[in-house]
Structure 1
Amino acid sequence: MRVGLVDDRTIDLDKLKAIVSTVADVEVVFATQSAEEAYDHIKKETIDVLIADIEMPNLSGYELADIIHSHALNIAVIFVTGTSGYAVHAFELNVHDYIMKPYTKERLTQSIERLVEKSKSAEMTGRLYLKQKNDIHIVQKKDIVLIERSGRSTTIYTKSGPIKTYMTLNELEGELRERDFLRSHRSFIINIHYVKNFSLYAKNSYTVTFDGLDEKAMITKEKVEFLQRNYF
Structure 2
Amino acid sequence: MTALRVLVVDDERPALDELTFLLERHPDVASVVAVDSATEGLRLLQDTTIDAVFLDIQMPGLTGVELAQVLSRFRNPPPIVFVTAHEQHAVDAFELRAVDYVLKPVREERLAEAVRRVVEGVAQPAASGDEQIPVERGGVTRFINRSDITHVEAQGDYARLHTPHDSYLLRTPLTVLEEQWGPAGFVRVHRSLLVALAHISEVRMESGRCTVRVGEGIELVVSRRHTPALRELLNRGRP
Using the size of structure 1 for normalisation, the TM-score is 0.50
Name 1:70's counterpart in structure 2.
73
Q: Check the 8 A contact 2:23/2:32 in 1, yes or no.
A: no
Bigger Cα displacement from structure 2, 94-103 vs 109-118:
109-118
Aligned pairs for 1:59-208 within 5 A? 59-122=62-125
Which residue does 2:46 correspond to in 1?
Answer: 43
Q: Indicate the residue corresponding to 2:7 in structure 1.
A: 4
Amino acid across the alignment from 1:97: D
1:2/1:87 Cα in 2 relative to 1: closer, same or farther (>3 Å)?
A: same
Q: Specify whether residues 29 and 21 from structure 1 end up closer, same or farther in structure 2 by C-alpha distance, changes over 3 A only.
A: closer
**1:34 positional shift:** 1.1
* Deviations 1:175-209 (CA, angstroms, capped at 9, x unpaired): xxxxxxxxxxxxxxxxxxxxxxxxxxxxxxxxxxx
Amino acid at match of 1:21: E
The structure with more radius of gyration: 2
Q: What is the one-letter code of the residue matched to 2:80? A: V
**RMSD of aligned Cα (Å):** 2.1
Runs of 5+ in structure 2 lacking a partner? 129-239
Tell me how far 1:24 sits from its aligned partner: 1.4
The CA distance in 1 between the partners of 2:96 and 2:49, in whole Å, is 20
For 1:50, what is the secondary structure of its paired residue? strand
SS in 1 for 2:101: strand
SS of 1:15 mapped into structure 2: helix
* Offset of residue 25 of structure 1: 2.8
Tell me the TM-score normalised to structure 2 length.
0.49
Residue 20 in 1 paired to residue 34 in 2? no
Query: CA separation of 1:29/1:45 partners in 2, compared to 1, >3 Å: closer, same or farther?
Result: farther
> C-alpha offsets along residues 44-99 of structure 1, whole Å, 9 cap, x if unaligned?
00111100100001011111111111334330000000112211111000011111
Aligned-partner residue type, residue 75 of structure 1: P
Matches of 1:94 and 1:28 in 2, distance apart?
24
- Dislocated runs of 4+, deviation >3 Å: none
Instruction: Give aligned-pair identity as a percent.
Output: 37
- Which residue of 1 is the match for residue 237 of structure 2? none
Q: Name the residue aligned to 1:184.
A: none
- Of 109-118 and 30-39, the range deviating more from structure 2: 109-118
User: Which digits, 9 at most, give the CA deviation of each residue in 1:103-140, with x for residues without a partner?
Assistant: 21110111102221332335xx9xx9xxxxxxxxxxxx
SS at match of 2:20: helix
Deviation at residue 29 of structure 1 after TM alignment: 4.3
